[in-house]
Amino acid sequence: MQRKDFHHALKIQKEECIGCTHCVTICPTEAIRVYEGKAQLFENRCIDCGECFRECPVNAIIIEQDDFNQIFEYERRVALVPSVLIGQFPSDVKATDVYSVLMDTGFTDVYEVEHGVDILAEKARTYIEEHEEQKPLISAFCPAIVRLIQVKFPALVDNIILLHPPLDVAAKYYKKKLLNKGVAESDIGIFYVTPCAAKIAAVKSPVGQEESPINGVINMDFIFNKVYTNIRRGYVSKSEHKLKHQLSPEGVLWSLTTGEADNMQGRALAIDGIHNVIEFLEKVENEEVKDVDFIELRACDESCAGGVLTTTNRFLTVERLKKRATIYRESDNRDSNEDLAEYRSFLDAKNIGIKEITPRSMMKLDEDMAEAMKKMQRVKEILQCLPEVDCGACGTPNCNALAEDIVQERASIKHCIFIQRMLEQRGELSKEETYEIMKSIWGQEKFNRNC
Amino acid sequence: MMHFEFDIEGGDFTRAGFASSQLKRALKQLVGNHKVTKRIVVALYEAEVNVVAHAYKGKVIADIDTERITILVTDEGPGIEDIELAMQSGYSTASEQVREMGFGAGMGLMNMKNNTDKLEINSEVGKGTDVKLVCYLK
């Protein structure tokens, strides 16, 4: 798999984009601009949270996935499924039915991501105890959060717990298991059914490890449609996928809000929703929040149940998974001890740590501080001339961003429609010139309409 | 050289942290060393909360150049009777009400000292307190 520094699964389809700036204003890291009527991404700022995908009114933003048929390049085709997949289906659909149908689509194995999270939780608790000076410790579970901290809160990278999230551990563990059975490594294809774009980025350009143990990614909405259509049409599975073990209740709930925090000791907080997370991290950075041991942060509202690639309403998914966890809690059909013992010894063999996470701050105005100060002064001056209406008509998220773009020579002050009107009135700008400027932002198409 | 000024209102905890947040935003755009940025912002936040908790009103004056960040926090307030005693960790004169809000643990001055390269406190009882915070960038 090709490794790129900033692989983004989010792709803007130029043909579909109408240049409306909805994505520009919602983006939490101000990573999008509209030029020539089309949204464009600053690759080094994007954290793959998927807010733009949610917001786009014309579905011009898509989440690129691997071709499904790619699974057939491998002898052993493993579907790695997170518990939120099951939460997508109505309660009368059994997990075993979902997995059986999934097998019939071409997989040879189905493995649940959250197996053994109880052991991962133990490891995390020990880690927290051993890293007193780095408190509050922040979970590395959500890849969008890891990226957010890298670009927007560089001083907090040391607070991130350097332990693999369940996804990587599960993939490594299952691969190891197959290898032990004598399957050749080149024959093993591990495919993750993802609820979001950030997890794709984590697979394609991992942070804290050289290469992801996962071979490909299939979007959850695609799998849901494929499986649920079959189930609704009364298709009877040929392969009976017997669940050899069942997730623990903690495993079922792990990817939901408080899933991790509930299993940590001391003061543990859980925060979901990217804008809530940003608000809180500002406080953590100022050390306004004291004596907190652990923070679980998730980019999506209702965590993975609210992932951008889920089909079902997030609150229903949460309800279903909670119900499932209760049933599991009451039943005795837990992970067999034998399997967990194997998992534990796998984790003990140092398969769990990730490397240092480095900051990649995007906020500096210039590498040279003296130059950065000059630029900041210019931004201040320009901002005084701008209306501060933050209308976004210039194609940047707000007046401040436009001022910065002007200083960085990515935009002109004439891009502001308020300034244009003023210049026109003063006779310093002709109607034709205004027209040309607006064409460069909004694109020719908008001016060719017959209204 | 960049210059910033912010006012602080005594007793208004909803606004405590405004100056630190504004300054942090600017520092992130200017300074490559994010660890220094974090330290000075943490120290300023402590100073800001002190003004809100104890004084009637105050002012933050920050000057940034390529060598150092210098912040002067001045207030009109009761002043500090014994600065040495106040510097000791755990010592606090904060009211019960302030403590209930999660402030006033008596770690403020200590925290300011630990997060700066230079800390100067001058105070006159019954008039107010001047706090100077300095962090070097190199």
Condensed to tens digits (0 to 9), the pLDDT of residues A151-186 reads: 999 999 999 999 999 999 999 999 999 999 999 999
- Burial of B57 (C-beta count, 10 Å sphere; 0-12/13-18/19+): middle
Which has the closest alpha carbon to B7: B48, B67, B42, B36?
B48
Q: Which CATH number fits domain A10-63: 3.40.50.10790, 3.30.70.20, 3.20.20.100, 3.40.190.10?
A: 3.30.70.20
Which pLDDT belongs to residue B27?
A: 94
- Number of alpha carbons in the 13 Å side-chain half-sphere of residue A163: 22
User: How many residues are recorded in chain A?
Assistant: 451
B41: closest chain A residue by CA: A286
Contact B30 A154 (CB under 8 A): no
Which pLDDT belongs to residue B106?
A: 67
Rounded to two decimals, the ipTM of the complex is 0.84
User: Low-confidence residues of chain A, pLDDT below 50?
Assistant: 1-4
CA A410/CA B59 separation, integer angstroms = 36
Q: Which residues on B lie below 8 Å from A367 (Cβ)?
A: 32
User: Residue A57, preceding bond cis, omega within 30 degrees?
Assistant: no
Three-state DSSP class for B129? strand
Max CA pair span of chain B: 42
Contact (Cβ atoms closer than 8 angstroms) between residue A175 and residue A190: yes
Closest Cα of chain A to B41: distance in Å?
A: 6
Structure tokens at A291: 């004596």
Closest Cα of chain B to A155: distance in Å?
A: 5
* Domain boundaries for CATH 3.30.70.20 within chain A: 10-63
Sign of CA dihedral A276, A281, A283, A288: positive
Which pLDDT belongs to residue A247?
A: 87
Looking at chain A, the whole-number percentage of residues with pLDDT higher than 90 is: 71
- Burial of A90 (C-beta count, 10 Å sphere; 0-12/13-18/19+): exposed
Contact B21 A376 (CB under 8 A): no
Please provide the average confidence, as pLDDT, over all residues in chain A. Answer: 91
Residue B63 corresponds to which amino acid? D
User: Residue A136, preceding bond cis, omega within 30 degrees?
Assistant: yes
Q: Which residues on B lie below 8 Å from A363 (Cβ)?
A: 28-29
Q: Which residues on A lie below 8 Å from B102 (Cβ)?
A: 290
Which pLDDT belongs to residue A5?
A: 62
Q: Which contiguous run of DSSP H or E holds residue A198?
A: helix A197-204
Which pLDDT belongs to residue A116?
A: 83
Pairing assessment for the beta strands A268-272 and A137-138 based on DSSP bridges: unpaired
Which pLDDT belongs to residue A1?
A: 36
Looking at chain B, the whole-number percentage of residues with pLDDT higher than 70 is: 96
CA B37/CA B67 separation, integer angstroms = 13
Tens of pLDDT, residues A337-347 = 567 788 888 87
Q: Which residues on B lie below 8 Å from A377 (Cβ)?
A: 2
B40: domain CATH number?
3.30.565.10
CA B127/CA A148 separation, integer angstroms = 44
What residues contact residue B84 under an 8 Å CB cut-off, 6+ apart? none
Which pLDDT belongs to residue A65?
A: 86
Residue B42: which of A282, A287, A369 has the nearest Cβ? A287
Q: Which contiguous run of DSSP H or E holds residue A81?
A: strand A76-81
Place of tokens 């491998």: A74
Domain that holds residue B118: 2-136
Number of domains in chain B: 1
Residue B118 touches partner A, C-beta closer than 8 Å = no
Q: pTM for the whole thing?
A: 0.91
CA A320/CA A90 separation, integer angstroms = 8
Which pLDDT belongs to residue A259?
A: 97
